[in-house]
Amino acid sequence: MLFSTPATPYTLFYTGSITNSMTAAALSLLIDNSSDYSNVTWTTPIPRLLREDFILGGEWSLNHITFEDALRRRTGYPRHDLAVTGSARKSLRNLRNQPMSAKPHARYQYCNKMYGAVGYPIETLTGSRLGDSSHSDLLQHHGGIHLAPHAVASDVEGPGSLTLSTVLDYAKYLRVMMREADPMSKAGLRELKTPRMLTALHPRSFVGYANYALG
């Protein structure tokens, strides 16, 4: 957006990492829909669904890194932001060439590529881009959040880590989360909001320790 362009509730902005929350919510909807996606749970190892694409360092990581691990940022992988490959699948496959900087489950490490690792199987299972599935399932009930399919930046980190949306649409999304409304289930919302990982070993001034949930 140019600085001379007036901002309105309908102006599209890059939402950046706020997209992570919606990716986690989209996965929650798949888990709730167990009749169609019985092989997807929070603790499903991602390589089980992406056997050829999601290959990490070491046999243990290959068999144990789950959706929950990726969403709570405890896979052992750092950001690797400069490892841009040009597509979601290439980004995932390139993780085998990127070093880990901690043992899995040891500590919180911000890594958007792992949200691509969550978004990509959602697209594979549903047969539609993440923007399409999030829009149709998650937010049409409340006027619809505009996750334009052409705006999902799969060439940066993979689906699930960056998109375009509007202030109005994200306000609707926040209303779903705050009111704990349909189509999200109570169980799914509980999983999304439960604190799981300290983001730092030392408390921040005035706010104390920060705990990361899912997304």
Q: Which amino acid is at 53?
A: D
Residue 95 pLDDT? 86
Percentage of the chain exceeding pLDDT 70? 80
Query: Which of residues 124 and 191 earns the better pLDDT score?
Result: 191
CA angle at 35 for the pair 144 and 135, rounded to the nearest 5°: 10
Q: Would strands 197-198 and 164-165 be described as parallel, antiparallel, or unpaired?
A: unpaired
CA distance 212 to 192: 10
CA distance 130 to 118: 10
Q: Which amino acid is at 204?
A: R
Note the pLDDT tens digit of each residue in 53-79. Answer: 888 766 777 678 999 999 999 999 998
Whether the link from the prior residue into 99 is cis, omega within 30° of 0, is no
Flag the least confident range among 15-19, 74-78, 146-150: 146-150
Q: Which domains does the chain have, with CATH numbers?
A: 13-212 (3.40.710.10)
Residue 161 pLDDT? 56
Note the pLDDT tens digit of each residue in 82-126. Answer: 887 777 788 888 888 888 899 888 889 998 888 888 888 888 888
